[in-house]
Structures are given as structure tokens and as C-alpha cells.
Homo-oligomer: A and B are copies of this chain.
Amino acid sequence: MDEPKEVTIQNYKGWEDFYKIKKSEKLDFFIRKGRMLDILFSQQFDRDFLNNMCQLATQIRRMALTKMGARKLSGLLSHKRAMLYFVQPSTRTFISFLNACHILGMKISEIRGTSTSSEVKGESQEDTIRTFASYVNLIIIRHPEAGFAEKTAWLLNQNKLPVAIINGGSGPDQHPTQALLDIYTLERSFRNIGGMDGKKIAMVGDLKRGRTVRSLSYLMRNYKDVTLYFVAPEVFRMKDDIKSFLNKHNIEFHETDDFASVMQHVDAIYMTRIQKEYAEAPAEETDVYPQFHFTKEHLSVIQSHCIIMHPLPRRYEIDVEVDKDPRAVYWKQERNGMWMRAALISYLFGVDDEIATEYR
């Protein structure tokens, strides 16, 4: 009985079947005329794409510095309409996407919260999506259900409606634009020291449920000789699926709960939040795993070029005092998210070339 293995892009029947197909085998389904139509999971990104997106994000960021550049950007997609469909609350990601769209002049419809009036009237999820797709050119989706964005793209691509889908976070599953902005932050920070290749990166905190560190780990296959250090309490260690993936792609990694011994050797420290909702004793929150916090004292321990990242929001993982150090790049990382999302949207609508011409 190995029937599940037989589901392929040639023989699948319906969504349930399609979802079972290995991601690497269905990449073409989300491509039209040599360009991705939907951005759903980080397996879609190869090194060329990552490099191009980083370059495009930098071009947009620089153009936005001048009035003439910013005005040109704001006209690029002023004739396009996007919907931000955020079933799961997320102020930060929402505003980041919204302003990425605004930079390019897009017109935005917002659907926030868990239910729409049509759902109340008994409409199916599929019909609701088709309705949204009737009105806009792009739908950015944040949904608690793993695979929801992919399902939407699958549904709409069948109907041949040229509506692009971006996954803005699908439950515990994927958050591909976060992975892109992390890569951009790393590449930007390392631009004078040879880029990502050969770097040592520590990931610290709740690696078990941290979507961002998981996605970022997957992308490491695109770079040469990267070494990862997973620094976590026993209960929050990185899951086996990621470790198998890294082994398969010959990416070196080490696991430890000794943050002090790791921090002095690495080129980047990626801090994550040990999430409130799982803390055992809320009354002692600030004391939760203090040995995995980054403090002011650590600044003299880490290398002079070692950057400190964090997907934000933070609680106690990083001292506020650390913010002033130029190696603390998490606020820059946050803004990079907006630039990278603008780059991605430019790419989806094929106006990346209009941006690139500014630099020829």
C-alpha cells in the first residue's frame, strides 16, 4: 500500500491530492510565462531568484530616497489593486505589506478578522475566494490554516484568472516573505565580507515552533559552506524534519544549549521569542530561560562584524540597551521586510525591469 507516493502533478485529483504532491515537484504549476505567479513556500526560491530579489529591494530602497525616485515608484502599479486578506491578526506583517503596496502606488482592499458577512450567509470558502479574486489583481493571505494560500492559488490557477497570491504566513507552516527579508538582511550586512557563503549563523530560542528560523534553515541550501548553530533549551530544540533536510543537503549544523560558547565565534545571531503563550509560569516571564537572552554585556563578547537579528516583536530576549549598537540590525531587518515585499510585488507584476532601468 504505497498509493500516496503515486500522487503526481500528472495524476492528482482535487485539492487534497494536490496538497500531497512534494513541493519541489509542483513548482511549475505556479509559474506563468517563465515568472512565478504566486509566492507560497520558500522551496520556490533558488539562488538566482534570491540574488535578484536582494538587488531589486536595494534598488527600490535607494529610489525611495529621492523625491523623483519615490514618485516614479508610486506610479508603477497605481493601476493595480491588491487585497490584504488577514484572517489571523498580525499588525506588523499587515502594515509591512500595506506599505510595500503603497510604495508602488497600489490600491488596497483590507479584509481583517475571522469572518466576513458572506460566510455568515453560508457561502463556501471557495466561493468567498473567487469573489475576492473577482475584484483585485493580487491577494495577500494570512491564515491560520497550513496550506490555505496554496489552496487559493491552486483554485484560482485552474480558473485561469490572472490573480497572484502571496502567502503572508500560513499557520505553523510557511512564511516565505519573512525568509526573504532575513536573507536580504544577512546579504546586506555581509556585502563587504563576501556575502552569505562560508558564514556561521546561530539561531537562538524557541527553534521548535519558530516559523522564521525553520524557513530560513531551508533556504541555506542555496548558499555554500554555511554552518548553523541551533542554540535552544532542551524542550525547544529544532525538529527532526529540518535536521534531516540539512543532512540531506550536506549543510553543517550543531546543537547546543550553551549560548555563551557559541556567540563569540559566529557571524550572525538570530534571536527568537520564547513565546508567552507557552511559558510555564506567567508571573516569572522575565526570567524565562534568561541564559538564552542577549544582554548588553554580550556586546563585548561577539565579533566586531557579528550582526544581531530578531523577527520582532521582542519581549525580553534582547536588552533595549543593545539597540544602539550598530551590530543590532533588527530594526533595519524590519524595514527590509517592506523593501523586500515591494521588490517581490514588482517582480510579480513585471515592473522590476522599469526599476532596473534606473540603474543602467
Contacts and interface: CB of A to CB of B under 8 A. Distances in A.
A49 B338 CA distance: 36
Contacts of A314: 123, 127
Residue of A121, A130, A285 with most partner-chain B CB within 10 A = A121
B135 A117 contact: no
Given A67-B79, A135-B99, A338-B135, A313 B92 contact: no
A237 interface: no
Residue of A71, A126, A134 with most partner-chain B CB within 10 A = A134
Contacts of A222: none
Contact of A95 (B126, B135, B312): B135
B98 A109 contact: yes
A335 interface: yes
A233 interface: no
A198 interface: no
A127 B311 CA distance: 13
A188 to B, nearest CB: 15
Contacts of A92: 117-118, 131
A70 interface: yes
Given A90-B117, A99-B107, A73 B67 contact: no
Contacts of A132: 95
A320 to B, nearest CB: 8
B117 A89 contact: yes
Contacts of A80: 70
A313 B121 contact: yes
A321 to B, nearest CB: 13
A102 B81 contact: yes
A331 interface: yes
B276 A135 contact: no
A344 to B, nearest CB: 16
A111 interface: yes
A131 B334 contact: yes
A331 B130 contact: yes
Interface string A127-145: 1101110111000000000
A74 B78 contact: yes
Interface string A272-286: 010110000000010
A129 to B, nearest CB: 12
Interface string A66-98: 010011011100111101000001111001101
26 contacts: A64-B79, A67-B79, A71-B75, A71-B78, A71-B79, A74-B78, A74-B107, A89-B120, A91-B131, A92-B117, A95-B109, A95-B131, A95-B132, A95-B135, A96-B135, A98-B135, A99-B107, A102-B109, A121-B273, A121-B275, A121-B315, A123-B314, A123-B315, A131-B334, A134-B331, A135-B335
Given A92-B117, A121-B273, 10 more contacts: A81-B99, A91-B111, A91-B117, A95-B109, A95-B111, A95-B132, A99-B136, A121-B276, A123-B313, A127-B312
Interface of A: 64, 67, 70-71, 73-75, 78-81, 83, 89-92, 95-96, 98-99, 102-103, 105, 107, 109, 111, 116-118, 120-124, 126-128, 130-132, 134-136, 273, 275-276, 285, 312-315, 320, 331, 334-335, 338
